[in-house]
């Protein structure tokens, strides 16, 4: 993670967000010979009702203690949603000079028992989306969901994820935004630095999304995926924080075609997480 960006997180976020707002979206005539795709600093200041000099100081990190009223006015310019607005307020809040040493992420015993008991795909992930534990049905649904894998790395770098996700572009945007929201106050954590560095070098998609500074909460919702054996699935996704980790569950509407396909996949799944082909032979060989 860029050291300058870490030292001036508020300025980096303001710069990234104004670059994504067109003059038309802000109600400003586009004019001719604009040198920036988004809004100019003075335009943001005008729309927020603050001086251009003060806004410049905010972007350059010369003033890091703006009032909540100023931040709320600035949030209206790029039309930040609730999560993004809260994130902006947090960026301007005081940062701890020293952080307690992060504990190793471990799976609580009760989650281990729960993974074995539930009859839907379920796994446990850490803050940086490392898979810490998974039940066999989760691995049968998606072979990249197994301990030792990282969901973000797999999504961006493994070609199998492009085939698995019906809308890979949307999935990557949501995951990167959720990743930034999850790890932003741990930007100097070695695991986060390692992963951001690896993906910045290996994935143009990640570089583009990371530069946008989008933030989101990947807590729930629905997703459409394609499994090579049972075909298309429309699934709900829930992400439930438990102590220092997150339990992720995928399930279908009761009585739906996707529910029937999950039941078929469960019937074909061995205890090790492999799934059998319809001819009875292990698909892994």
Give per-residue pLDDT as tens, 37-85: 789 899 999 999 999 999 999 999 888 788 899 999 999 998 898 889 9
Where are the chain's structural domains?
A: 3-91, 109-267
Confidence class for position 244, pLDDT limits 50, 70, 90 = confident
Which pLDDT belongs to residue 74?
Answer: 92
pLDDT for 284 beyond 60: no
**Closest to 250 measured CA to CA, from 234, 264, 266:** 234
Which pLDDT belongs to residue 114?
Answer: 95
Overall average pLDDT of the 178-206 stretch: 87
Which pLDDT belongs to residue 4?
Answer: 54
pLDDT for 100 beyond 50: no
Which pLDDT belongs to residue 56?
Answer: 93
* pTM as predicted: 0.79
Overall average pLDDT of the 86-109 stretch: 72
For residues 125 and 63, what is the distance between their CA atoms, to the nearest angstrom?
37
Whole-angstrom CA distances from 227 to 155, 221, 235, 239, 261 are 15, 19, 12, 21, 10
For residues 225 and 236, what is the distance between their CA atoms, to the nearest angstrom?
11
When mean pLDDT is compared across 20-24, 155-159, 210-214, 270-274, the lowest value belongs to: 270-274
Chain segment 164-173, per-residue pLDDT in tens = 999 999 999 9
Overall average pLDDT of the 17-29 stretch: 87
Which pLDDT belongs to residue 27?
Answer: 85
Which pLDDT belongs to residue 24?
Answer: 86
Q: How many CB atoms lie within 10 A of CB 115?
A: 21
Q: For domain 109-267, which CATH number applies: 3.30.450.180, 3.40.50.20, 3.40.50.150, 3.40.1350.10?
A: 3.30.450.180
CATH number belonging to domain 3-91: 1.10.260.40
Overall average pLDDT of the 165-182 stretch: 93
The mean of the pLDDT values for the chain is: 86
Overall average pLDDT of the 103-131 stretch: 92
Name the more confident of 139 and 38.
Answer: 139
Please check whether residue 91 is in contact with residue 83, taking contact to mean a CB–CB distance below 8 angstroms: no
Which pLDDT belongs to residue 203?
Answer: 96
H or E element at residue 123: strand 122-125
């Amino acid at each position: 993670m860029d050291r300058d960006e870490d030292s001036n997180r508020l300025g980096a976020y303001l710069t990234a967000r104004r670059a994504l707002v067109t003059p038309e979206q802000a109600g400003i005539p586009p004019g001719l010979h604009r040198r920036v795709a988004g809004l100019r600093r003075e335009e943001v200041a005008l729309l927020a009702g603050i001086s251009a000099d003060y806004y410049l100081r905010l972007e350059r990190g010369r003033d890091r203690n703006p009032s909540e009223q100023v931040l709320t006015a600035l949030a209206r310019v790029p039309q930040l949603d609730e999560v993004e607005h809260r994130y902006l307020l947090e960026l301007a809040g005081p940062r701890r000079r020293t952080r307690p040493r992060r504990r190793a992420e471990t799976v609580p015993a009760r989650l281990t028992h729960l993974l074995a008991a539930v009859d839907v795909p379920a796994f446990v992930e850490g803050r940086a989306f490392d898979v810490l534990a998974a039940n066999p049905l989760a691995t049968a649904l998606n072979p990249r969901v197994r301990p030792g894998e990282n969901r973000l790395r797999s999504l961006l770098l493994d070609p199998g994820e492009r085939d698995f996700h019906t809308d890979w572009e949307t999935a990557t945007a949501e995951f990167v935004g959720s990743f930034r929201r999850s790890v932003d106050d741990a930007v100097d954590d070695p695991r986060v630095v390692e992963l951001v560095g690896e993906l910045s070098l290996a994935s143009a998609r990640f570089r583009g999304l990371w530069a946008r500074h989008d933030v989101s909460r990947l807590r729930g919702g629905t997703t459409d995926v394609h499994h090579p054996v049972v075909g298309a699935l429309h699934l709900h996704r829930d992400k439930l924080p438990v102590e220092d980790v997150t339990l992720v569950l995928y399930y279908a509407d009761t009585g739906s075609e996707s529910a029937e396909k999950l039941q078929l996949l469960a019937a074909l799944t061995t205890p090790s997480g492999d799934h059998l082909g319809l001819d009875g032979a292990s698909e892994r060989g």
